[in-house]
Copies of this chain bind each other. A is one copy, B any other.
Amino acid sequence: MFSQQLRIPGPTPIPPSVQQAMNQAMVGHRDQETKELIHTIQPLLRPIFGTKQEVIVLAGSGTGGLESAAVNIANAGDEVLVAVTGAFGDRFASICEAHDLKTHHMNVTWGTAANPDDLKSFLLDHPTIQAVFLTFCETSTGVLNPIKELAAVVREYSNAYVVVDGVSSVGGTASHMDDWGIDMLVTGSQKALMLPPGLAFIAVSERAWKQIQDNSQRRFYFDLRKYRKSLEGDSTPYTPPVSLLYGLKQAVQLIDQEGLSEIYDRHQLMMNMTRKACKALGLPLLAADDIASPTVTAIKPDHFSAKQLKMMLKSSFNLNVAGGQAHLADEIIRIGHMGYCSPNDVLLCISLLEMGLSKLTGADTFGVGTKEAEKEYFHFLSRKEDRG
Q: Which residues of A contact B (CB under 8 A)?
A: 3-4, 6, 8, 10-14, 19, 22-23, 25-31, 59-64, 67, 76, 94-95, 98-100, 188, 190, 196-198, 218-223, 237-244, 320, 322
Contact = CB atoms under 8 A, between A and B. Distances in A.
A26 B238 contact: no
A25 B11 contact: no
A314 B59 CA distance: 28
Given A28-B6, A61-B221, A218-B76, A197 B19 contact: no
19 contacts: A4-B25, A4-B27, A11-B26, A22-B22, A22-B243, A28-B322, A31-B320, A59-B60, A59-B197, A60-B60, A60-B64, A60-B221, A62-B238, A63-B220, A63-B237, A98-B219, A190-B239, A196-B244, A197-B239
Chain A contact residues: over half helix, strand or loop, or mixed?
loop
Contacts of A61: 59, 221, 238-241
Contacts of A63: 220-221, 237-239
A222 B219 CA distance: 11
Given A98-B218, A219-B98, A221-B61, A244 B198 contact: yes
Contacts of A4: 25, 27
A26 B60 CA distance: 18
Contacts of A11: 26-29, 239, 242
B12 A243 contact: no
Contact of A28 (B99, B237, B320): B320
Contacts of A6: 25-28
